[in-house]
Amino acid sequence: MKNNFFTIVSHAFAMILCVGLIASPVLAAQGDPDDGGESSSEAGRIGSGENYCSQTAVLVLGSCEAGVRSDFRIAVADCVNLSDQQEQDQCLDEAIMDRGDDLELCQQQLQARLDVCDQLGQDRYDPEIDPANFVNPLAIGQGVQPNPYFPLVPGTQWVYEATSQDDEGEEVTETITVTVTEETKLIEGVTCIVVTDVEMEDDQIIESTNDWYAQDVDGNVWYFGEIAKNFETFEGDDPENPELVNLEGSWKAGRDSAKPGILIPAEPQEGEVIRQEMALGEAEDLVEILSLTGTETAPAANCDGDCLVTRDFSPLEPGISEEKYYAPGVGLILELDEDGERGPELVSITQP
């Protein structure tokens, strides 16, 4: 039986208050930085001790939960402005359900971050970046040896394809075109090469990204950020063209405390786990080196016992991972999802 709409709203906000009063262990001991009442000495205790990684995970949990509460308030406000009582009730039911799902995701992300701490240890993530340790990206392939698993030679282009089914059961073809341009971008004193990544679905653009990579003198490829433009089409529009809807996933080293990471090491070691990026709450990808002796085949390339095999994952998406195969001298040739299903595979490569 449906309750009165505003009675439900009252209960909903009571639940928000209850959630807000549940403090995490670190925040309970040190004071929540969001409460505005902590002293400078209390604030100074944040980051003290040795469990820096776990402290970070718990603090980000607080931010995640605060974001969920904020989103829920907006959702309830939207419900208030619906005139139809049945639509109001349905709107609030969905808002409450979404809030519960989102709070659960916050907890799952916490556990995923703590699992990463178990793998990497409790040290701070604060890589030292010296621009003198990076090569001129336009010289890669012309005097500078490229990383064997991600040869960032300007003019190189990889094209990937994958097929899947949409919500209506129709088969769709995804095409991803990755191009190493001759454009550069200076970030934190490091000259990065601009690599474009355009994703199409049945000839309609889904995402267009500029990635910023740099190679150090040891051959490691570093990831300094990206600008990701995400598009959607909306049924009923005329013309029904893709529209830019958000820049979700975008980040840049040095902005809002974001830090770069190693995308692909030049000499990977089996079993090592590496942070590829750190923009907390936005970009937290990691890579685990599974093997240096993988074998796989794609339409445009293959490897026989010499593929680098990685597992790419992120605490932002608990339980989701990708297994990737990199052929020496070629680059990425195949992705598998967490169930072993084939994803994008290399269908063509152009090398200067």
**Buried residues in 101-112 as b, exposed as e (16+ CB within 10 A):** ebbeebeebbeb
Tell me the C-alpha distance between 208 and 42, whole Å. 44
Helix residue ranges per DSSP H, 84-229: 85-120
- Tell me the CA distances in angstroms from 333 to 161, 228, 344, one per residue in order: 11, 22, 8
Q: Tens digit of pLDDT for each residue in 285-341? A: 999 999 999 999 999 999 999 999 999 999 999 999 999 999 999 999 999 999 999
Which residues are within 8 A (CB) of 197 and not within 5 positions of it... i.e. 6 or more apart?
Answer: 176, 177, 178, 207, 208, 209, 210, 211
pLDDT score, position 286: 98
Residue 243 CB burial class (10 angstroms; 0-12, 13-18, ≥19): exposed
> Band of the pLDDT at 203, cuts 50, 70, 90?
confident
Tell me the C-alpha distance between 119 and 113, whole Å. 10
* CA torsion through residues 176, 177, 178, 181, sign: negative
Rg value, the chain, Cα: 23
Which residues are within 8 A (CB) of 62 and not within 5 positions of it... i.e. 6 or more apart?
Answer: 24, 27, 32, 34
Stretch 243-266: mean pLDDT: 96
Map out the domains of the chain as residue ranges.
5-120, 137-350
Give 169-175 contacts, CB < 8 A, sequence gap 24+. 172/201, 172/202, 173/201, 173/202, 174/199, 174/200, 174/201, 174/206, 174/344, 175/199, 175/200, 175/201
Assess contact for 158 and 332: CB atoms under 8 A: yes
pLDDT score, position 42: 38
- Tell me the CA distances in angstroms from 101 to 68, 95, 146, 313, 352, one per residue in order: 10, 10, 44, 21, 49
Helix residue ranges per DSSP H, 121-183: none
Q: Tens digit of pLDDT for each residue in 140-168? A: 999 999 999 999 999 999 999 999 877 77
Written as six digits, the tokens of 9 are: 């709203």
CATH architecture type of domain 137-350: Beta Barrel (2.40)
Beta bridge partners of 307: 294
- Tokens 């063509």 sit at which residue? 348
Tell me the C-alpha distance between 350 and 148, whole Å. 16
pLDDT score, position 102: 98
pLDDT score, position 19: 43
> Band of the pLDDT at 28, cuts 50, 70, 90?
very low
Q: Tens digit of pLDDT for each residue in 29-62? A: 344 444 444 444 434 456 566 899 999 999 999 9
Secondary structure class of 321 (helix, strand, coil):
strand
pLDDT score, position 168: 76
Tell me the C-alpha distance between 327 and 132, whole Å. 29
Tell me the C-alpha distance between 222 and 213, whole Å. 6
Asked if pLDDT for residue 235 goes beyond 80, the answer is yes
Confidence (pTM): 0.86
Tell me the CB-side half-sphere exposure of residue 198, using CA atoms within 13 A: 12
pLDDT score, position 47: 57
pLDDT score, position 4: 54
Q: Tens digit of pLDDT for each residue in 161-194? A: 999 877 777 889 999 999 999 999 999 999 999 9
Asked if pLDDT for residue 18 goes beyond 80, the answer is no
Question: Mean pLDDT, the chain, as a whole number?
Answer: 89
